[in-house]
A and B are shown apart, each in its own frame.
Chain A
């Protein structure tokens, strides 16, 4: 059983400070939805409002169409996995998992049976009698998931539960979480500041900044068609060219930036329509690092510029090349490690280009801090 979760105009204030501002989103039953945003953007606060530990100052939380106001966390069909997991250290693994059943008065035998089933589900067969501290980080993670699933929640809420794990384990757990979600078929609401996590696991992502939900969309949409400069820079890497609109022609926008002009696509607004620009508007043109190539490598490339190489960073599968363009814009682009970069020593000037189709023009706004 899964449930739909809807936030209607949810604002949450602590004194004068708004941790969440007028958030509206409808999360479908059985969906894996992530709230993605930097720390302090209000995503955890929002999750606490869904779980019932916080009441919104304004607005409503609906689960399966039912208004949740005044209903405590122990009465909601949700289950929360805490960032530090909050397993009970003095209980055995099985007792941890079956705690919610103990609370509901199930007898010892049926509790144990259910705990064993759930241990199977999270691939921890036969570990029920261990103490929590005897488990590894990844195993604790699974116990926390099993414990949260024991209540048979309609919605599982996850508050950055992978953040304490090392990279390899985190990547493994992503796949696993997604698999578990598909197996149990309930709604997952996931909170993270790690865009990799959000993009790999989710059906849809809501990007948050400063208490506001900036964009909601599929992972692909959020990456390829950001609505705001914040989303463009927070999700993935992006190069930002600040400038003014020179002219608009059949959906293509010509932007004057520094000494040169580039042509790009007007981005999609929140209303899913392309932004309408007119000459003289202050805009930012975003170009993904992977869209930039050395001039002549791609026939489609129609914007070109020259830049001075600053540093080259080796990242295993990729080489990241940092440059400064003639217009004084910091540029970053990446090439596969196997590519020949012999002509690109620092302080050398190179010609670069990118396709008009890969340049997104958005109105000015705050960027995500690196």
Chain B
């Protein structure tokens, strides 16, 4: 602590400490603890809070699993279904994202000239200066019944009637994939950039095909970057709200939309908190399991 002060001077050192402590305590620890606490409490009107009825209960978690007491179903098929759908779709979106971003990142990191690389990065970044909601609407317009894509396909004679991309959730997958593309590309780029180009040439000189070189040399090298990108994209996709609201078909529900409903429309913050905690815990567990499976450590991912 002393050396930290000596190194940075009293003003900057104090600022750093205050900023970091504020960020950790007020923006991360307290809200999460509050939500955790709330999720175990009954949903009471303000007057009764802290009264004799305000005791810890598992009612909200039970609701997620078994549904309301009046329901006849053994399990809460609707909510669990939406939840599983969300997780599976998020995995799918992450995989699609990786498949798209890996070649782009590899091209920028290893093949493009510095100028082309800069232009490409700019082209990737600039669309993200626009608000996520607006981007989602733009995609909705592209995929609409009489949107650009349908018109082009009709014009080319590839289809005879307009495709309902929204109902097929193609618009949703596209929007979600695009929404976090940068969070996949940048970790990938970082990892690939540090790969010695001679390794690629050495592999080629030894007779390796491009595919094998990627499989045996490039991907193992970039593993931590891939894990880092996938983690971020998966977490953010599973927790996305704006894109699903704008792009999902009327009969597709995203789990965050449920959470949003409990908080805002049904005014049941406790249940909303419980649902949030479920999403958080399951997502984190899933990511940790995947990391175990692919033998990546957290240290490598956050590097």
Contacts and interface: CB of A to CB of B under 8 A. Distances in A.
A151 B204 contact: no
A369 interface: no
A86 B206 contact: no
Given A86-B198, A90-B220, A80 B212 contact: no
A86 B201 contact: yes
A72 interface: yes
Nearest to B200: A86
Given A90-B221, A99-B216, A82 B208 contact: no
Interface in B206-264: 206-209, 212, 216-217, 220-221
Contacts of A73: 201, 204-205
B296 to A, nearest CB: 13
B300 interface: no
B152 to A, nearest CB: 38
Interface in B22-41: none
A78 B204 CA distance: 12
Interface string A65-99: 00000001111001110111011101100000001
A83 B205 CA distance: 14
A233 interface: no
A86 B221 CA distance: 13
Contact of A100 (B198, B207, B220, B221): B207
A103 B216 CA distance: 10
B206 A74 contact: yes
B267 interface: no
Contact of B198 (A72, A78, A82, A151): A82
B220 A79 contact: no
Contacts of A147: 206
B202 A151 contact: no
Contacts of A87: 202
Interface string A47-80: 0000111000000000000000000111100111
A104 interface: yes
A80 B216 CA distance: 19
Interface string A102-113: 111000000000
Contacts of B116: none
B206 A151 contact: yes
B8 interface: no
B221 A99 contact: no
A103 B209 contact: yes
Contacts of A51: 205
B14 interface: no
B207 A103 contact: yes
Contacts of A83: 198
A352 B1 CA distance: 70
Contacts of A82: 198, 201-202
B205 A74 contact: yes
Nearest to A95: B216
Contacts of A104: 207
A100 B206 contact: yes
A150 B202 CA distance: 13
Residue among A51, A74, A84, A91 facing the most chain B CB atoms (10 A cut-off): A74
Given A88-B217, A90-B221, A103 B208 contact: yes
A147 B198 CA distance: 14
B205 A80 contact: yes
A102 B206 CA distance: 10
B278 interface: no
B268 to A, nearest CB: 51
A308 B161 CA distance: 99
B199 interface: yes
Given A84-B196, A86-B196, A99 B203 contact: yes
A100 to B, nearest CB: 4
Contacts of A86: 196, 198-199, 201-202
A73 B206 CA distance: 8
Contact of A99 (B198, B206, B220): B206
Interface of B: 196, 198-199, 201-209, 212, 216-217, 220-221
28 contacts: A51-B205, A52-B205, A53-B205, A73-B204, A73-B205, A74-B204, A74-B205, A74-B209, A79-B205, A80-B201, A80-B202, A80-B205, A82-B198, A82-B201, A82-B202, A84-B196, A87-B202, A88-B199, A88-B202, A90-B217, A90-B220, A91-B216, A100-B206, A100-B208, A103-B208, A104-B207, A147-B206, A150-B206
Given A78-B205, A99-B216, 5 more contacts: A51-B205, A74-B204, A84-B196, A88-B199, A103-B212
